[in-house]
């Protein structure tokens, strides 16, 4: 991708996360970047195209981080902890109004992005569960497909309501409870022993 286009996508992504999508016009984008709208239209046909490419670029960027974690050859519990840390960091930048704007003003794009996110999340959880079973860290009898779907459903609905504040969602306490809650449902005896012996070390990396 053209370096100028990447720069625009990264800068506009920051604007959207801060102010939402609807309130940020193409004039605002041009002013923020210090360029003419003509320059922006060299790479993006209109605002909807810009929104679409921002969302896809950010998704690909997150997938890159996820792939890097998966390639480090952690065991399943270590990998899951690193993924949870990444998700927690993402939540700190999450702006509910941005998600609302996508859903209301770009419904087809919202459905497409949601499907892409779902598949990547499902695949990540499903593969982690199967890895953990092979390593003897997760219960052999657990149904990976069902648990992966439940995990995706739970994470989507965690963001799609006002029960938790942004501060609660990104707090270390919340991180701890969700991580432990998920693990206690899937760990084998060996996995529980590993987790209990290493959790203090895991927590130290969050500080």
State how far the Cα of 44 lies from the Cα of 112, in Å rounded to an integer: 19
pLDDT tens string 118-152: 999 999 999 999 999 999 999 999 999 999 999 99
The answer to the question of residue 147 being in a domain is: yes
The answer to the question of residue 24 being in a domain is: no
The answer to the question of residue 33 being in a domain is: no
* E-state strands within the chain: none
State how far the Cα of 29 lies from the Cα of 38, in Å rounded to an integer: 12
State how far the Cα of 205 lies from the Cα of 207, in Å rounded to an integer: 6
pLDDT tens string 19-46: 999 999 999 999 999 999 999 999 999 9
Q: How many domains does the chain have?
A: 1
Bigger pLDDT: 177 or 31? 31
The answer to the question of residue 73 being in a domain is: yes
Give residue 1's pLDDT. 77
State how far the Cα of 19 lies from the Cα of 160, in Å rounded to an integer: 18
Angle formed by the axes of helices 107-135 and 47-70, nearest 10°: 0
**Structural domain that includes position 82:** 48-204
The answer to the question of residue 182 being in a domain is: yes
CATH assignment of the domain containing 140: 1.10.357.10
The answer to the question of residue 28 being in a domain is: no
The answer to the question of residue 38 being in a domain is: no
């Amino acid at each position: 991708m053209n370096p100028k286009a990447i720069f625009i996508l990264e800068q506009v992504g920051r604007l959207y996360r801060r102010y939402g999508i609807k309130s940020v016009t193409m004039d605002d984008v041009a002013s923020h970047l210090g360029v003419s709208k003509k320059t922006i239209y060299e790479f993006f046909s209109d605002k909807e195209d810009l929104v679409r490419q921002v969302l896809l670029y950010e998704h690909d960027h997150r997938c890159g981080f996820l792939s890097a974690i998966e390639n480090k050859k952690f065991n399943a519990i270590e990998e899951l902890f690193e993924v949870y840390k990444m998700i927690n960091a993402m939540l700190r930048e999450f702006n509910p109004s941005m998600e609302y704007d996508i859903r209301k003003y770009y419904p087809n794009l919202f459905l497409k992005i949601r499907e892409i996110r779902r598949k990547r999340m499902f695949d990540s959880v499903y593969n982690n569960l199967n890895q953990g079973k092979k390593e003897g860290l997760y219960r052999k009898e657990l149904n990976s497909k069902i648990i992966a779907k439940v995990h995706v459903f739970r994470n989507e609905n965690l963001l799609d309501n006002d029960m938790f504040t942004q501060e609660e969602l990104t707090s270390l306490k919340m991180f701890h409870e969700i991580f432990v809650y998920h693990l206690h449902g899937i760990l084998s005896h060996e996995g529980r022993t590993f987790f209990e012996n290493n959790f203090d070390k895991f927590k130290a990396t969050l500080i």
